[in-house]
Amino acid sequence: MPELRHDPIQKRWVIIATERGRRPSDFLVNNEKPQMSFCPFCEGNEEKTPPEVWAIRSNNSAPNTPGWEVRVVSNKFPALVIEGDLNRQGLGIYDQMNGVGAHEVVIESPEHDVDLADQSVEHLAKIFKVYRERLVDLQRDLRFRYVLIFKNYGLIAGASLSHPHTQLIATPITPRTVAIELDSAREHYAIKERCLFCDIINQELDQGCRVVSSEEGYLVGTPYASRFPFELMVTPIEHHHDFGQLSDEDLDRLAVVMKKTLLRLKQALNDPPYNFIVHTSPNLLARGRRAGHWQTIAYDYHWHIEIIPRLTKMAGFEWGTGFYINPTPPEDAARFLREIEVPVS
Amino acid sequence: MPELRHDPIQKRWVIIATERGRRPSDFLVNNEKPQMSFCPFCEGNEEKTPPEVWAIRSNNSAPNTPGWEVRVVSNKFPALVIEGDLNRQGLGIYDQMNGVGAHEVVIESPEHDVDLADQSVEHLAKIFKVYRERLVDLQRDLRFRYVLIFKNYGLIAGASLSHPHTQLIATPITPRTVAIELDSAREHYAIKERCLFCDIINQELDQGCRVVSSEEGYLVGTPYASRFPFELMVTPIEHHHDFGQLSDEDLDRLAVVMKKTLLRLKQALNDPPYNFIVHTSPNLLARGRRAGHWQTIAYDYHWHIEIIPRLTKMAGFEWGTGFYINPTPPEDAARFLREIEVPVS
């Protein structure tokens, strides 16, 4: 069972893989492994993955057989395991709990080589609807505080399999970055009775210099204090806190915007490795229950997607300090991306 | 002039290089550049660097000529610039200040190929004494809140020049990671009147399973909630908050310990790329002065060095979430390193 351990200095939880611990020799091999020839995510290899959790199958085919369009399976090497109790305990000055959670893989397409940017808008919308389904389902498990949806594209960005896929990790704690965002939004709302993100969006639309696109109800822009070159934030212009509550139409429009945005990045930066992370409100049902009452939903939060192209290696002391140096002003990055023509498909 | 920009969502400052902004095409070249044949840090090339800020010269040679043992120069491409006022201002919802600071390079040796792990203990102690000199000198500038001392070793860890060197960056803000540590230490002290780090050190020495070495007054160990495989913390066993106040003898003993520790990592992990960061108390003189009085020094802090071997690429969603998955239990990492025999030199 993996462990969740708390660092009392940094006030940060870390997942420690206690069972299949990697030895020094595991790190000596060249990281740039060649792609394996066999792909467990390709259509026809369904029996090589853990059993199907969810799938879109328009042809009435049976689970764990070919015929799917988007397929969700448990991660074969999960960071957290689904069975068990948290068993929270103190160990002297430290805190620990069992690494209970869920770790799923959304296989975005039966095709091995069609990345998100090259999917049709219709298929992209289906993928996003699967995110929503799994998010809502995992949030029903009251052990979990947060459901992370994220994608690693390319070896440098951490993708160990090249077949297009997204991951979901349900965690028994709210990740620190999300917790800070929730706090900021709550503090702002407490003083002003306005959403922090809405205020930022209004200022960005007004100034325009960091806007890449504004259409279909979504703003795509480079954050004012971007940490990384060509970092992007995709956010609904109207206030909305919860990705899990989006309508089909919301997701259809998101698909148009994400397709164009990913195509822009692909063209501008020659198909760069990237990560994206969906930031949505936490699983407050669980938090409310533990406190003995149903807590107010985080209406003051504003869901968004963060896209980080992995262009720089300057992450050395950043990890140690939380301090970033960005060599590309976000205004320049936005202008480059804005000027790229993308076909409406 | 670079800008410091504040992210109101993440409450984080970022340095934006506004002048020599990198365009998309700058990222298209292969990052794995071959090493250049000319090295500006080698002895004899002193005129190719900015003027010398400090040097150890035992032979009375003149500044900016050969004959030095350790040499400090300004960074030719500084992240922050030394001249100017901070000019703090609000820009609607955002906050901004000029990128004023210092960015220096400690050239650790005239020799191009002798890394820190292979220096003599005597020379290592000289390098650490130069860190101390520059730290104390930069802390006299009341615009600066913090002086970062860090090393990037190897291309993957962010070193753009292979000649052994360390960097110092003096910043007008305290980096977030340090600020969190200061807060944790202060909170612990406020309740218990004990140092948080001292309590951790005592528990670690008592348990032993994460101790790599304990000698010369320093504990070397893997943190309980290590984020990365073989992450290490080097800390004085006796309470001490300020690297700038260490005696020559303290640094001589640190040199013995660091040499052994870096040799252990080099042997266990085949000369891995790594970052190290010195965590020391902030420049409280500046903070006190701005508040109109001299603030109590951060006696409740405990200085230490963080060493992060760069072994994993799993930094994808970590950047977006602040959540880490560590595939090597720190107890295993400590045992591997402890069992390596290192010659006492």
Residue B33 contacts A, CB cutoff 8 Å: no
DSSP letters along A238-293, please? S----GGG--HHHHHHHHHHHHHHHHHHHHHHTS--EEEEEE----HHHHHHHTTS
Longest dimension (CA), chain B: 60
Residue A23 contacts B, CB cutoff 8 Å: yes
Strand order, beta sheet including A218-221? A52-56, A70-74, A102-107, A165-171, A146-153, A274-279, A304-309, A232-236, A218-221, A211-215
Residue B90 contacts A, CB cutoff 8 Å: no
Angle at A114 between CA A112 and CA A120, to 5 degrees: 140
User: Fold for domain B3-21+31-338?
Assistant: HIT family, subunit A (3.30.428)
Show residues of chain A in contact with B321, CB under 8 Å: 148, 150, 175-178, 277
Show residues of chain B in contact with A13, CB under 8 Å: 225, 323
* Average pLDDT taken over every residue of chain A: 89
Q: Which of A159, A188, A269 sits opposite B24 (nearest CB)?
A: A269
Residue A314 pLDDT > 60: no
Query: Distance between CA B70 and CA B47 in Å, rounded?
Result: 16
**Three-state SS at B248:** helix
Show residues of chain A in contact with B155, CB under 8 Å: 313
pTM for this structure?
0.91
Query: Distance between CA B171 and CA B173 in Å, rounded?
Result: 5
Instruction: Decide if A148 contacts B321 (C-beta within 8 A).
Output: yes
pLDDT of residue B276: 94
- Between strands A3-7 and B52-56, the pairing is unpaired
Residue of A nearest to B301 (CA): A9
E strand map for chain B: 3-7, 12-16, 52-56, 70-74, 89-91, 94-98, 102-107, 146-153, 165-171, 211-215, 218-221, 232-236, 274-279, 304-309, 324-326
Q: ipTM, 2 decimals? A: 0.87
Residues 296-335 of A with CB under 8 A from B: 306, 308, 310-317, 319-330, 332
Q: How confident is the model at residue A31 (pLDDT cuts 50, 70, 90)?
A: very low
Instruction: Decide if A160 contacts A31 (C-beta within 8 A).
Output: no
**Three-state SS at B336:** helix
Mark yes or no for CB contact A14/B225 under 8 Å.
yes
Please state the rounded mean pLDDT for residues A203-220. 98
Work out whether the CA dihedral B337, B339, B343, B345 comes out positive or negative. positive
pLDDT of residue A319: 72
A3-13 tens-digit pLDDT = 899 988 888 88
Residue A296 pLDDT > 70: no
Q: Which of A9, A171, A226 sits opposite B184 (nearest CB)?
A: A9
Q: How confident is the model at residue A28 (pLDDT cuts 50, 70, 90)?
A: low
Q: Which of A23, A184, A270 sits opposite B8 (nearest CB)?
A: A184
| Residue extents of the structural domains in chain B | 3-21+31-338
Residue A89 contacts B, CB cutoff 8 Å: no
Show residues of chain B in contact with A165, CB under 8 Å: none
Low-confidence ranges of chain B (pLDDT < 70): 19-21, 28-36, 285-297, 313-316, 344-345
Residue A280 contacts B, CB cutoff 8 Å: no
pLDDT of residue B160: 78
- Between strands A218-221 and A165-171, the pairing is unpaired
CATH superfamily to which A3-338 belongs: HIT-like (3.30.428.10)
